[in-house]
């Protein structure tokens, strides 16, 4: 059967027939297939698939190694995070304890200062009272001494005024007779 080509007008025109070139009984497709077989054979002979497989295995091993390193680094980081979280909690507790101790020490210092100041006020009040009492006693003693001095001067004046030599002789005689 002859090939027929159709035109746009709908008429049939006989198609031209071309023969494909061939060499050694193979057309172009056959030569391409043969070349591909030869290339694959050379690749297998030179062990290209095993080299590619080895290269891929090496890359897989390197990736696994990196994943293992990343996993261990992550584990280390998590351990450090936990450790620092514990240290942070411990530091917070220690800070709270230090604040509590400081507050209690401050309260103790204030209480001691209050008691010391109360004791000091009491001591100073007592010392002032004792000093006042001593001054009162000294003033009373001075008044007594002054009164005694005044009384003795008054007595002396009265004795001098009321007694004469006869009365003195009589008193002396009485004093001597009482000594015997």
Residues 6+ away with beta carbon under 8 Å from 14: 2, 3, 4, 5
Per the CB < 8 A criterion, the answer to whether 4 and 12 are in contact is yes
Say which DSSP state 2 is in. -
Alpha carbon distance 12, 3 (integer Å): 10
> Residue 6 above 60 pLDDT?
no
Q: Model confidence over 85-97: pLDDT tens digits?
A: 999 999 999 999 9
pLDDT greater than 60 at residue 156: yes
Is the distance from CB of 23 to CB of 31 less than 8 angstroms? Answer: yes
For residue 100, the model assigns a pLDDT of 94
Q: What is the mean pLDDT of the chain?
A: 85
Which two structure tokens, joined as six digits, stand for 33? 């297939």
> Are the C-beta atoms of 17 and 3 separated by less than 8 Å?
yes
pLDDT number for residue 53 = 86
Higher pLDDT, 13 or 169: 169
User: Where is 6: in which H helix or E strand?
Assistant: strand 4-6
The tokens describing 9, both together, are 């007008």
Q: Which of 45, 49, 20 is nearest to 32 (CA)?
A: 20
Cα dihedral sign, 177-178-179-180: positive
**For residue 164, what pLDDT is reported?**
73
Query: Average pLDDT, stretch 30-59?
Result: 85
Residue 81 has pLDDT above 60, yes or no: yes
Pairwise CA distance, residues 177 & 172, whole Å: 9
- Mean pLDDT in residue range 56-66: 94
What is the pLDDT confidence band of residue 27, given thresholds at 50, 70 and 90? confident
Predicted confidence (pLDDT) at residue 75 exceeds the cutoff of 90? yes
């Amino acid at each position: 059967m002859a090939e027929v080509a159709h035109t746009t007008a709908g008429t049939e025109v006989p198609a031209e027939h071309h023969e494909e070139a061939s060499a050694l009984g193979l057309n172009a497709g056959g030569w391409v297939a043969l070349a591909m077989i030869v290339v694959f054979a050379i690749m297998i002979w030179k062990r290209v698939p095993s080299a590619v497989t080895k290269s891929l295995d090496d890359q897989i091993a390197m990736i696994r190694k990196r994943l293992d390193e990343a996993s261990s680094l992550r584990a280390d980081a998590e351990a450090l995070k936990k450790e620092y979280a514990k240290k942070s909690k411990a530091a917070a507790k220690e800070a709270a304890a230090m604040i509590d101790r400081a507050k209690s020490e401050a309260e103790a210092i204030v209480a001691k200062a209050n008691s010391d100041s109360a004791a000091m006020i009491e001591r100073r009040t007592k010392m002032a009272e004792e000093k006042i009492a001593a001054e009162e006693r000294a003033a009373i003693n001075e008044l007594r001494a002054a009164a005694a001095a005044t009384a003795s001067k008054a007595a002396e004046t009265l004795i001098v005024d009321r007694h004469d030599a006869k009365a003195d002789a009589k008193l002396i005689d009485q004093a001597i007779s009482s000594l015997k």
